[in-house]
Amino acid sequence: MILIAHRLATVIDADRILVMEKGTAREFDHPYKLLVKDTNIDNEGVTNTEGYFSKMIAATGKSTAQSLFDIAK
C-alpha cells in the first residue's frame, strides 16, 4: 500500500518512508533508521540531525518530536 500524507503522525509507524523533494527521492528507509545515525545502540532521541525526515520531525517541536521518535522506535 502506498500512503501519501502531510502529517508525520500518519506515517511515523509505516514500514518504510520515502521522502521526496521536488519530484526527487531524497531518503527511503524505516522511520527509526531515518532518525538515528547508528541503529546498533539504544538511541533516546534523534541523532541524525542532517536528514530530511529528521529535520521535519524536529520542526514539530521538542515534545512532539520526542513522541514521534518513540513511536518510530
Q: Is 58 within a domain?
A: yes
The pLDDT of residue 10 is above 90: yes
22 contacts: CB under 8 Å, gap ≥ 6: none
Q: Is 2 within a domain?
A: no
The pLDDT of residue 4 is above 90: no
Q: Is 3 within a domain?
A: no
Please give the mean pLDDT across all residues of the chain. 94
How many structural domains compose the chain? 1
Q: Is 26 within a domain?
A: yes
Q: Is 54 within a domain?
A: yes
Q: Is 43 within a domain?
A: yes
Give mean pLDDT, residues 59-72: 96
Task: Assess contact for 47 and 37: CB atoms under 8 A.
Answer: yes
Question: pTM for this structure?
Answer: 0.89
